Amino acid sequence: MTSTQLFVHPNYNDKMNNDVALIQLPEQLSFSNTVQPIQLVSSSQSSNTYVGTQATIAGFGLIDDEYLDYSQQLLFAHVQIIANDRCASIFGSSVVLASTMCAEGAVGSNMSTCSGDSGGPLIAYNSNAGRWIQIGINSFVAEDQCTAGLPSGYVRLTSFLDYISETTGLSLP
């Protein structure tokens, strides 16, 4: 399926700030075992930093830094959200803003997103609602360091719910 229209955030820049885009599809998706909707995080969670939260990432990106080998199947990994100041010490404060969140693989694991995973979801289980919610969008990784155990950066969805609502015309929770 191809897209009908692409909506890139008007304040997007090459420093990965406002790294959000929406795609309009020509027809509704047919849901199946492999295609499912996910609820976006609620605006009531805008003050939640999620630091320490266990989350899941997914993507078809590179599976090794050394070889340009992209996954042919959707891969998942478990990560933990870390504090922005810790992440900014690696990537810089011009990249890690309040609208950013970062996550790293479990201790002893090199799990991270990699080139080709950008745009993929960062999801967390909401035990109050009893379901998974999307809290972020993969935005950046350390260059050529996907398996070095460094954190990766995500768009903090609560910072862009108004943009998503205005662009789509949908009322979000």
**Domains defined for the chain, CATH in brackets:** 38-158 (2.40.10.10)
Q: What is the pLDDT of residues 19-36, one digit of tens each?
A: 999 999 999 999 998 888
What's the pLDDT at 13? 83
How many C-beta neighbours within 10 Å does residue 65 have?
A: 17
3-class SS of residue 65: coil
- Is residue 145 classed exposed, middle or buried when 0-12, 13-18 and 19+ CB atoms within 10 A define those classes? middle
Q: How many residues does the chain have?
A: 173
Provide the whole-model pTM.
0.89
What's the pLDDT at 51? 97
- Helix segments in 62-160, DSSP class H: 84-91
Low-confidence residues of the chain, pLDDT below 70?
Answer: 1, 3, 64-67, 106-110, 144-147
d(CA 99, CA 156): 5
Percent helix, strand and coil across the chain, each to the nearest 5: 15, 30, 55
